[in-house]
Amino acid sequence: MNVHLINPSHVSFGTSVITPRWLYVLAAATPASFGDPILVDETLSPVDPSRIQRGDVVGIGVHTGNALRGYEIGRLARERGAYVVFGGIHATLYPEEAQSLGHAHAVVKGDGDLVWATVLEDCRRGVPGSIYSGGRVEASDFVPARWDLVPRDRYMWASVQTVRGCPKHCSFCSVWRTDGQRPRQGATDSVIEEIVQLRRLGFRYVALADDNFYPVTLTDLQLASRRGDTDRLEALKTMRAQRFDLMARLAQLPSDSVFFTQITMEAAEDPAFLDAMRQANIKGALVGVESVTPEGLKDIYKDFNLAGQGLVDRLRKFQSHGIHVLGSFIFGLPSDRPETFQATAEVAQRAGLTFAQFLTLTPFPGTVDFGRWEKMMERDPRRIEGIPLTRHWLIPQGHRPKIFSPHPLMSAEEIRRRTQSVWERFYSLGFIWRRSRFLKSMRGRLTFILISKIYRQMYADTGIATDSARIARSARWARWLAKPCRYLFSGRPMPELQVPERIPFDVSARFQQIEGGCHAK
Ligand code: SF4
C-alpha cells in the first residue's frame, strides 16, 4: 500500500518557483510504517496514473484555483481502486463537493499535521471516515517538513512557515477566516533547523510562506498600552520578541542566504523591525497594496493602508531599509475608474517596487466578498457550460471568466484589457531595465530582466489572458525560461552547516520606542 500526495495543476512547467510546502509537511506527518510517500507536484509534471494501485491512499490538496484539476485526479485515483482523501482550504470549505465531484472517500478539514496519521490508519483498516476535523493546530504542534524528499534540481525557492493566521480582516481574503485571526507562531528552533537543512541541500532562497510575517504592529502595542490591558500587552510583546529572536538567528546564517515573505504595509512605520529584517537577509516582501485610492481601500476593509503620496512614501521606506517589495494590486473594485489603472501603474513605478502583480477582483470562497456576491447572484441565472457563476472554479479553465462582479462603470472585458496593459507597461523592457539600477553588474541586471520576464509569463499571461493559444504560448515560454533561471537561484550545498545558537538579546531595548510612542499620544 503506497501513499501518494498530489499537488494538482492544470499547467506544468518542468521547473517551479516555490516548493508546495504542504506536500513535504504531510510527508513528514506520514507514519514510517507506511514508507516514504510518493510526492507529485503537477506544476512540475502531470501525475502518472499507472503508479496508483488498488488499496493505495491518494491525498490531494486543493485551493480554489486548482480544485477542478484536483477532482479529475480524485476520480481517476478512485477508478484505479485507491482511497481518495482531499484536504486544503477549498476542501475545508466545500467537503461535499470533494466527495461528489472528486469522488473522495474522506475529506480533512483544517490543518492536516496531526490528523493525517489517523486518516491513513483508517484507510489501512479499510474504514476511512468521511470527514476528519484537523482544526487549527497550535504552533508547538506544527510538523516540520521532510526536505530529504525534495527534488533539489526542480525548484528555485524552498518554503518554510513561521506563523499561521492573520489579525486583519480584508474582505477579499479567506486567510483570517480559515487560519484564524490569532497568529500561531512556530518555535524558532524548528524553523531554523528546517532552514539549515534546506541550505545544506543547496537552497539559498527560502520563502517564509507566512500569512503575515508582521502579526503585531506598533499600533497594536500602543492601543493595548493605552487601554491598560496588561495581559494583552504582554502577549503582544512576547510575540514581537519571538519575531526578533527568529530574525536574529536568521542573521547568523550564511550571508548569501535570501529570504522572502509577506507582510502588511504597517511594517514601514517600524524601522527596528525593518532593520532586523535586513540583517536577517529577508530581502524581499510581498506587500498587499491592493488599491491606490482611499475609496478602493474602504471597498475591501483595508483602510489601515495608505493611499496617494503617503502610500508611495511608505513603500519607499521598505526600499530604503534594503527590502525589495513585490507590490500586489487589485483591479475591478467598485470605486475603480478607467483612470485608476494608469494611476496605479504610476504609483507602482514611483514607489520603487521591484516587482508587482496586478490581479482582478475575484470572489474567493470563504471571504466576506464571496458571501455578499453569492447572495447578490441568487437572482442571476447565468451559467457557463451549465455551471452557475458562483461556482466559477468548476468552469473549465479555458472558459472561466476573468471578472465576476458587475462593475458600475466598466465592462468585464474593459477591466481585463486595462489590467493586461498595466502588466505590459510595468514589465516592458525599458521599465525593467530602469528598475534594475540597484544592481551594479551587467550580469546582475540581465539576470533581473530574465527573472522579471519569467515572473510575468508565469503569473500574468497564464492568469488573465483569455485566449487559450496565448496561455499555452506563455506556459511554453515560462517552461523554457524557468530552467536556466533555476541555476541562478541555486547555492552551493553546505552539508557541514550548523544550526545557529539563540543569541540572548535585550528585549526591553526593542520596546523603548513603542512606549515612548504611547506616551507621546
Ligand atoms: S490580505 Fe493579508 S492582511 Fe489582509 S487578512 Fe489576508 S493575510 Fe491578512
CB-ligand 1 contact for 173 (6 Å cutoff): yes
Which ligand 1 atom is the nearest neighbour of the CA of 173?
Answer: 6
Give yes or no for residue 166 CB within 6 A of ligand 1: yes
Q: What is the Å distance from ligand 1's center to 168 Cα?
A: 6
What's the CA angle centered on 219, arms 303 and 174, to 5 degrees?
Answer: 50
The beta-strand segments (E) located in 8-82 are 16-18, 38-41, 57-61
Question: Among the atoms of ligand 1, which is closest to the Cα of residue 167?
Answer: 8
Report how far ligand 1's centroid is from the alpha carbon of 78 (Å).
36
Pocket test for ligand 1, best of 169, 171, 174, 175 (most atoms within 8 A of CB): 175
HSE, CB side, 13 Å, CA atoms: give it for residue 144: 15
Angle at 333 between CA 332 and CA 336, to 5 degrees: 85
What's the angle, vertex CA 457, arms to CA 453 and CA 458, rounded to 5?
A: 120
193 contacts: CB under 8 Å, gap ≥ 6: 144, 499
Ligand 1 pocket member 288 (CB < 6 A): yes
Which atom in ligand 1 lies closest to the alpha carbon of residue 175? 6
Q: Which of 172, 178, 211, 302 to mutate to test the pocket of ligand 1 (most atoms within 8 A of CB)?
A: 211
The C-alpha cell at 485 is 533561471
pLDDT of residue 476: 61
The pLDDT assigned to 17 comes to 84
User: Using an 8 Å Cβ cutoff, are 421 and 412 in contact?
Assistant: no
Q: Which residue CA neighbors atom 7 of ligand 1 most closely? A: 211
CA distance 519 to 511: 12
> What does the block give as the cell for 103?
469522488
Tell me what pLDDT residue 190 has: 92
Residue 85 in contact with residue 37, Cβ under 8 Å?
no
- Nearest Cα neighbor of 400 from 386, 414, 389, 415 is 389
Among protein residues, the one with the nearest Cα to ligand 1's atom 6 is 173
- Please report, in tens digits, the pLDDT of each residue of the chain (521 residues total): 999 999 999 888 888 888 999 999 999 999 999 999 999 999 999 999 999 999 999 999 999 999 999 999 999 999 999 999 999 999 999 999 999 999 999 999 999 999 999 999 999 999 999 999 999 999 999 999 999 999 988 998 999 999 999 999 999 899 999 999 999 996 789 999 999 999 999 999 999 999 899 999 999 999 999 999 999 999 999 999 999 999 999 999 999 999 999 999 999 999 999 999 999 999 999 999 999 988 888 887 777 777 778 899 999 999 999 999 999 999 999 999 999 999 999 999 999 999 999 999 889 999 999 999 999 888 887 889 999 999 999 998 778 887 787 889 999 899 999 999 999 999 999 999 999 999 989 988 998 998 898 888 776 655 544 455 555 555 666 666 666 677 778 888 999 999 988 776 555 445 544 443 333 33
Q: How far is the CA of 38 from the centre of ligand 1 (A)?
A: 33
How far apart CA 88 and CA 189 sit, in angstroms, is 26
Give me 65's grid cell: 484555483
User: Which of 397, 358, 477, 466 is CA-nearest to residue 15?
Assistant: 477
Does ligand 1 have an atom closer than 6 angstroms to the CB of 176?
A: yes
Ligand 1 neighbour 264 (Cβ under 6 A) = yes
Output phi, psi for 156, to 5 deg.
-85, -45
Find out whether 375 and 50 touch, Cβ atoms under 8 Å. Answer: no
**What is the per-residue pLDDT across 30-63, written as a single tens digit (0 to 9) for each?**
999 999 999 999 999 999 999 999 999 999 999 9
User: Which string of DSSP letters, residue by residue, matches 467-519?
Assistant: SHHHHHHHHHHHHHHHHHHHHHHB----TTPPPPPPPP--HHHHHHHHHHHHH
In whole angstroms, give the CA distance from residue 72 to residue 2: 20
Q: Is the CB of 170 under 6 A from ligand 1?
A: yes
Atom of ligand 1 nearest to the CA of 174: 6
pLDDT of residue 505: 55
pLDDT in tens, 211-268: 899 999 999 999 999 999 999 999 999 999 999 999 999 999 999 999 999 999 999 9
Locate the ligand 1 atom nearest the alpha carbon of residue 264 and give its number.
3
CA of 362 to the centre of ligand 1 (A): 15
* Plot region of 503 (φ>0 → left; ψ -120 to 50 → alpha; else → beta): beta
259: DSSP letter: E
CA distance 151 to 24: 11
Cβ of residue 61 lying under 6 Å from some atom of ligand 1: no
- Ligand 1 in reach of 143 Cβ (< 6 A): no
Its pTM stands at 0.88
Q: Is the CB of 317 under 6 A from ligand 1?
A: no
